[in-house]
Structure 1
Amino acid sequence: MYKEPFITIITVSYNSESTISDTIESVLNQDYSNYEYIIIDGASTDNTLNIIKNYQIKFENKNIRFRFYSEPDNGIYDAMNKGILQAEGKWIGILNSDDFYIDDKVLSSIAHNIIENPIAKAHYADLVYVKQNDINKITRYWQSGKFNPRRFYYGWVPPHPTLFVDHEIYDSYGLYNEDLDISADYEFMLRIFVKNNVPAAYLPKILIKMRDGGASNISLANRKKGANNIRLAWKINKLTPLPFTFILRLLRKIPQYIWK
């Protein structure tokens, strides 16, 4: 009989009072129990901390370890790194404070995928984008597909919010590069999957509902900065993209708005 893998879920928050309850509820209501939940808050000035505190007893009643920290940070990836350094789970997943799990079977599905694919050191799945003010209205469907690191050269990347990574990978290859700002998750995946050939397994299931309007999408300036940092991600990992890698990365998004 296989032992259920111990999973750490990390949520980074800052002034998230309008969305964080959905995030926390989706973690609390999982039908899987072998996990811990860590929230890293950036010293919110709204009602976020009070909302978080109100959930502490609910996790205790389920015998789920729940911790939260609140202090100023240097951005979302600094906060993610803080959470990873606190994590005790064998597997680590990151759930943003405006995203939430699609149902109560997300962690049990990931655990099953981990057991069924013992060689894989990372697992990922699909996600859907939803409207900020109507979480039942899907605006984009990101279907990942099977893993092949060569696909990065053709503009492919797995959706970071669905990623669950073996703790050893962070220990071996490092945390998020905060200098890459809003593209640090892309650089991390490029570093582990393409540069270091970390094996991964795809779970063909939607795990996450993600609200429109993330940090990398809210302005033309951020889009330009993200594109520049993605080019830099290849450079700092001493990898050479194909001439059309970055064009394909943009073109790959078009079907996601059609097949939803």
Structure 2
Amino acid sequence: MKNFSPKISIITVVFNGRQTLETTIKSIINQSYPNIEYIIIDGKSTDNTVEIIKKYESQISAWISEPDKGIYDAMNKGIDLSTGDYLWYINSGDEIANYDTLERIFASNTDADIYYGDTVMIDSLGQEIGNRRLTPPENLTWKSFKRGMLVSHQSFIVKKKLINHYNLTYKFSADFEWCLTALKKTDNIFNTHLILSKFLDGGITKQNIAAGLKERFKIMAKHFGLIPTLYNHIFISIKFFSFVARHKRF
């Protein structure tokens, strides 16, 4: 298969992203990969976010600025605007890992339903903190998520035909179920063995860690059963506290 270059819809959700949005935009518009549709969904910011968007408007495929019901409602708006073969969420503050990341992914000429990779955590200055606490498995399936969200939402590229809207019942963990539901629909899943994204530490989920974990537990119990979820949380907890003890972060 030659010249495999599917259309990738990259969606950025932002609200009052004055300090973070421009870096995100640059990481996307400077990709060496040619077939990108870039969409920005702004939640009616009250700072100069819209001015930043307008600065790069000629390199943005579509954008809106209007009130929403939260981050997942904004993500759903991105889905509705997208026309690409694949969707990839790189939200304000996050970055694509390297300028040639997409080019390297599709150089494989592998027509997968889902591509995944690793994630590096960064601080507010863009400095690398270290890899994400959870490590992607060599062979990802939906059952992998019984051990937690082993692949970051920002390092998960999925064919649009596999996805649904985010479930707005969940305020902090709808991305967990969204990825899990897509994984359940296919076994054509490709491990890029690349770091795909840089994730800004301290986002909405981390700011609401207890509520997010409760939601995630409900989702896991729904898909894997209550007893297996309780059992797996023994190991999830051990790994969590071991990581915190070693790295002084989570």
Q: Which amino acid aligns with 1:27?
A: I
Distance 1:34 1:154, change over 3 A: same
Q: Which amino acid aligns with 1:201?
A: F
CA deviation map 1:15-36 (0-9, x unaligned) = 0010100000000111111111
Distance in 1 between the 2:158 and 2:45 partners? 28
State how many pairs are aligned: 242
Residues 1:231 and 2:217 aligned together:
yes
Partner of 2:92: 97
Distance in 1 between the 2:47 and 2:168 partners? 25
CA deviation map 1:21-73 (0-9, x unaligned) = 0000000111111111000000000010000100013x2xxxxx521101000
Q: For residues 24-43 of structure 1, what are the structure 2 equivalents within 5 Å?
A: 24-43=25-44
Q: Which amino acid aligns with 1:226?
A: G
Task: Indicate which of 118, 137, 144 corresponds to 2:136.
Answer: 144
Distance in 2 between the 1:86 and 1:39 partners? 10
Q: For residues 192-203 of structure 1, what are the structure 2 equivalents within 5 Å?
A: 192-194=182-184, 196-203=185-192
SS of the residue corresponding to residue 182 of structure 1 reads coil
Q: Which amino acid aligns with 2:62?
A: R
Q: For residues 1-260 of structure 1, what are the structure 2 equivalents within 5 Å?
A: 1-57=2-58, 59=59, 66-113=61-108, 115-116=109-110, 118=111, 120-133=112-125, 135-142=126-133, 143-149=135-141, 150-155=143-148, 157-170=150-163, 174-194=164-184, 196-218=185-207, 222-237=208-223, 239-240=225-226, 241-253=228-240, 254-255=242-243, 258=247
SS of the residue corresponding to residue 205 of structure 2 reads coil
Distance 1:141 1:225, change over 3 A: closer
Question: How far 1:255 sits from its partner (Å)?
Answer: 4.5
Check conservation: 2:117, 2:195, Cα contact below 8 A.
yes
Question: How far 1:228 sits from its partner (Å)?
Answer: 1.1
Superposition RMSD in Å: 2.2
Partner of 1:62: none
Distance 1:176 1:83, change over 3 A: same
Check conservation: 2:5, 2:106, Cα contact below 8 A.
yes
Distance in 2 between the 1:93 and 1:137 partners? 22
SS of the residue corresponding to residue 244 of structure 1 reads helix
- TM-score norm. by structure 1 comes to 0.84
Identical-pair percentage: 32
Distance 1:7 1:250, change over 3 A: farther
Distance in 1 between the 2:45 and 2:5 partners? 35
- TM-score norm. by structure 2 comes to 0.88
5+ unaligned residues in a row in structure 2: which ranges? Answer: none
Distance in 1 between the 2:239 and 2:105 partners? 25
Distance 1:99 1:245, change over 3 A: same
Distance in 1 between the 2:237 and 2:197 partners? 21
